[in-house]
Amino acid sequence: MQTKESEQERLPVTPADPESQPLPTVPFAREDDEDDPEQIFIRAVAEIETQPLPGRKRTGSVIIADVLQTVFCVSLIGIGLFGIIWQCITYPHTLVVLYTRAIPAHVTTTLDLQTRTVAPITLTRSATTATSGTGHQDARAATGQVNFYNGSYVSQTIHAGTVFTGRNGVQVELLQTVTIPAASPPQFGETNVTAQAVNVGAGGNIAAYDITLALSNFLTVKNLAAFTGGRDARTYRAVAAQDLTNVTNAVNETLIQAFTTAFSLQPGEAALPTNCHVTTSTNHQVGEEAQSVTLTASKTCSAVAYNQDELTRAAIATFTKTRPGATYHIVGSIQTHLLSVSPLTVSLNGKWAYTFSQDYKQLLAQGIQGESPAKARASLLKTGIISYASVPQTLPSAGYIDFLVLVG
């Protein structure tokens, strides 16, 4: 045994990889060796079942192999995911456009809000608009007075319709028969009578003394003043009734806007004008010739002030009570119109529309997958909440159906 120990001491410092060797067959012990401790130990070891020890790999080889195996597995998983994503992207999706029904709602109610009265103010605004009406003027003959002078001791008579021609060639005629009294020396007998231009038009407006004629040795006629009123026929622009309506509406709109910022208010307040009084005046009346018409209005109003945020919250809370169902939402904004301030009464108008959740869209897609456009539309319309559906083609499976929901 000492020899064996010496041999073991001469072994290299670095131990070799352990190798599993079957234990040598232990010879059957003699009876006189049964009590030998060494033999007892050998027999006990021989009865132990053994297996070959696995060979240990070098550390570098283990790391490279594991890394390569991990990279390979990750690559396979990445390629699989990429394939799925690529298929989802490149496989054509079908877009179905749904028009959901908008359910209008209206409510008139009183709101319990604190208000205060604002002192009255007066605002004046004007508006001008071009006239759109037309007027027509008929031609008219000029008229004037002619004077007769009689130097005879006998009165003279001139009958109606007698025509006299002036210096510029304009003819006038007497409109009535006239008798000129006899002269009373040294005074001539004298009278005047109305005459009218024979032809209509502005040309009949002759100047004074255009007619100065000696009808005989003792009788003359003159127009001491110009003839007037003669005019030509023409069409002109005039004030139409709609022009006054338009300019009135424009002024009213301007005043309404002006009053929204005219009152002295506290932060967050708005005002409702009350007890308003308006006076208006125009520079032309309907039918008058004019290129434009101007209307001026003065408006005096007091006001009631209220907090805007409080009104909005109260209006929304009141309008929400008209919700058709839990799955409906408000479309757009709620239109609030103040009707009166004592008490504060408002008119609320808005619309409700069904809310299409992702789960409901998936349910719709499953219900119409593979259907023709006609059958798909019919199925969608049966829901009662869809007014129209645009289905472009025969539908693929549910996963490739997309919905665009509009309110119509």
Instruction: Walk me through the domains of the chain, giving residue ranges and CATH numbers.
Output: 139-232 (2.40.30)
pLDDT of residue 79: 72
CA neighbor of 124 nearest in space, from 246, 336, 277: 277
Q: Divide the 408 residues of the chain into consecutive groups of 10 and give the mean pLDDT of each group.
A: 43 45 47 56 60 51 71 74 58 89 93 91 96 95 97 95 96 96 93 97 96 95 97 96 96 93 91 91 95 97 92 92 93 89 89 95 95 94 94 92 91
Whether residue 343 has a cis bond before it, omega within 30° of 0: yes
Question: Which three-class secondary structure state does DSSP give residue 360?
Answer: helix
Contact 273, 231 (CB under 8 A): no
Residue 29 C-alpha from the chain's centroid: 112
CA neighbor of 170 nearest in space, from 140, 137, 145, 207: 207
pLDDT of residue 67: 76
Report the run of H or E that residue 259 belongs to, with start and end.
Answer: helix 241-260
- DSSP-H helix ranges across 261-400: 308-320, 358-368, 373-381
Question: Which three-class secondary structure state does DSSP give residue 31?
Answer: helix
Residue 271 C-alpha from the chain's centroid: 25
- Rounded to 5°, angle at Cα 206 from 202 and 211: 145
Instruction: Name the pTM for this structure.
Output: 0.48
> How does pLDDT run across 343-354, given as a tens digit for each residue?
889 999 999 999
Phi, psi of 157 (to 5 degrees): -115, 135
Residue 188 C-alpha from the chain's centroid: 87
Q: Cα dist. 110→334, 348, 356 in Å? A: 16, 11, 33
Contact 355, 327 (CB under 8 A): yes
Question: Which three-class secondary structure state does DSSP give residue 166?
Answer: coil
Question: Which three-class secondary structure state does DSSP give residue 295?
Answer: strand
pLDDT of residue 33: 52
pLDDT of residue 386: 94
pLDDT of residue 20: 46
Tokens of 334: 């709620």
Query: How far is 261 from 278, CA to CA, in rounded Å?
Result: 18
Contact 139, 232 (CB under 8 A): yes
pLDDT of residue 339: 87
pLDDT of residue 2: 42
Phi, psi of 204 (to 5 degrees): -80, -5
Question: Which three-class secondary structure state does DSSP give residue 45?
Answer: helix
Radius of gyration of the chain (CA): 58
- Any bridge partners for residue 164, and if so which? 172
pLDDT of residue 123: 96
Contact 135, 236 (CB under 8 A): yes
Cβ of 273: how many Cβ atoms within 10 Å? 22
